[in-house]
Chains A and B, each alone.
Chain A
Amino acid sequence: AQRVTQPEKLLSVFKGAPVELKCNYSYSGSPELFWYVQYSRQRLQLLLRHISRESIKGFTADLNKGETSFHLKKPFAQEEDSAMYYCALSGGFQKLVFGTGTRLLVSP
């Protein structure tokens, strides 16, 4: 079975502080992991995926198969990063499973 766990419902930080949004997954095969973001009053959009190994808006995420984790990190948070973040896993035929989401609040 595919499962994604995001343990924090809310993460509140000050501008300029480092951010780490946690994501753990459960899947017996080779997973594809994603981070999606939903800004206020906007639709859900892809932020990054592990196979691209890219940095988007200063965010990075590394797939750690030993710890079955795909944490999202940014060294210096900005107010515009405030949003809902969802970790997602695709392990099977087009079934994309989402975590429960973490709301990131960046205060000035």
Chain B
Amino acid sequence: NAGVTQTPKFQVLKTGQSMTLQCAQDMNHEYMSWYRQDPGMGLRLIHYSVGAGITDQGEVPNGYNVSRSTTEDFPLRLLSAAPSQTSVYFCASSYRVERREQYFGPGTRLTVT
């Protein structure tokens, strides 16, 4: 198993550009989520999904969209990038809805200039 994979590893965007961060898992996990990691602020939940076709907002959803058309994939879309979205983004998944052990991807380091 590849586990949780994320692409790209690094990305530089200009303010106003849009892009999609990819996340995939091959463990048949029901639950997937996106976090951003900022110095001094820990990891903050952006969006999460409890299964295909179901998504919900986390703590910091503004400026981001998600969809879950398949169990395996959970892309995160930045609609119009802003410097405040410069961060490291982590995707995570877990096997069952009631289990909360999260398996994390390697992260995407995004810089918005």
- Chain A positions within 8 Å of B, measured between CB atoms, are 4, 6, 9, 32, 34, 36, 43-46, 49, 86, 90, 93-101
The A-contacting residues of B in range 62-103, CB under 8 angstroms, are 90, 92, 94, 97, 100-102
B107 touches A43 (CB 8 A): yes
- Chain B positions within 8 Å of A, measured between CB atoms, are 31, 33, 35, 40-45, 48, 50, 58-59, 90, 92, 94, 97, 100-102, 104-107
Residue among B41, B59, B101 making CB contact with A49, cutoff 8 Å: B101
A-B contact count (CB 8 A): 51
Provide the residues of chain A in CB contact with B42, threshold 8 Å. 4, 6, 86, 98-101
Residue among B40, B90, B100 making CB contact with A94, cutoff 8 Å: B100
Provide the residues of chain A in CB contact with B97, threshold 8 Å. 93-94
Provide the residues of chain B in CB contact with A99, threshold 8 Å. 42
Provide the residues of chain B in CB contact with A36, threshold 8 Å. 102
A98 touches B43 (CB 8 A): yes
- When C-beta atoms are compared, the residue in chain B nearest to A33 turns out to be B100
B48 touches A95 (CB 8 A): yes
B51 to A: closest C-beta gap in Å: 11
A104 to B: closest C-beta gap in Å: 15
CA–CA, A79 to B40, complex, Å? 23
B100 touches A34 (CB 8 A): yes
A92 to B: closest C-beta gap in Å: 10
- When C-beta atoms are compared, the residue in chain B nearest to A45 turns out to be B104
B45 touches A95 (CB 8 A): yes
A96 touches B102 (CB 8 A): yes
CA–CA, A101 to B107, complex, Å? 17
Provide the residues of chain B in CB contact with A43, threshold 8 Å. 90, 104-107
